[in-house]
Amino acid sequence: MALAYVILGSQRYKVERAWTQADISGITSVAVLTDGRIAALLRRPGCVLVLASDGQVSARWSLEDMLCPHHISARPHGGALVTDLDGHQVLALDPQGHEQWRLGTPEQPRWQEPFNHPTHALECPDGGLWVSDGYGNTVVHRFDPQRQWLAALGAPGPGPLQFSTPHMLACAADGSIWVADRENNRVQHLDAQGRYLGELRPMHKPMAVAVQTDGSVLVSDQTASLSLFDPDSGTLVGRCRVQGVYGHGLSAGLDGRIYIAEMLPDCLTCLQPA
């Protein structure tokens, strides 16, 4: 069988589509965990499928009480965060998949306060928590390391620190945050206190964003493509095609691999440096 290759900037990749033989029907997101395993988030039935570096299943973490798992992110000290889109909550799991805490109340969604159909959550190395509250609200929330709510950043609109559907987040090494601002066709850049720094363009309805070890920013959108940006200049330095209709989830590993949770059809693709 012929292999496909793509290029992003100066780096060439081998495309390993259907990278795992496990059943990943209903995949919605993916995260490379701190121990190197790959966590695939499935919607139906709700679970996290934990995969070894060779694609073999090493664990399955049930999320049966979640209404609509949406995005997953790796926690700096192990485990994962999962957002429940229709349950208006964020769930923290330890490295064994056991629940550590929850934020949000399924019966009490809130307008422009935590939460109203949140899309993604991540913890930064300093312990701060960020949540994009993007399908009902149009804000990004900041929490302190004790998970006390600090601020709801943003409002509806196309300007700086305004959002359409804040769909996914990524944390840079300096603690700044990249926000996929979907219907505004951009990724906004905020500092660690939530102040506007700039934005990345061009793109069409960005779905997912990830930061590589060198600081470069990956963005999947609905063209459907995977784009590489220089974080300092904001320059687009590379682009390739995503095989599915949507690259809904995205994660970059320390080994240079890029994992894409594709939808329509459902697939977990790995881009292996070649």
Domains of the chain: 4-273 (2.120.10.30)
Exposed/middle/buried for 214, CB within 10 Å: 0-12, 13-18, 19+?
exposed
pLDDT of residue 20: 96
Q: Which of 220-226's residues contact partners 24+ apart within 8 Å by CB, and which partners?
A: 220/246, 220/247, 220/248, 220/250, 220/260, 221/247, 222/246, 226/6, 226/8, 226/250, 226/258, 226/260, 226/271
pLDDT of residue 268: 97
pLDDT of residue 1: 62
Note if the bond before 151 is cis, omega within 30 degrees. Answer: no
pLDDT of residue 18: 87
pLDDT of residue 171: 97
Q: Which stretches in the chain have pLDDT values below 70?
A: 1
Which pTM was predicted? Answer: 0.97
What is the C-alpha to C-alpha distance for residues 155 and 140, in angstroms, rounded to an integer?
A: 9
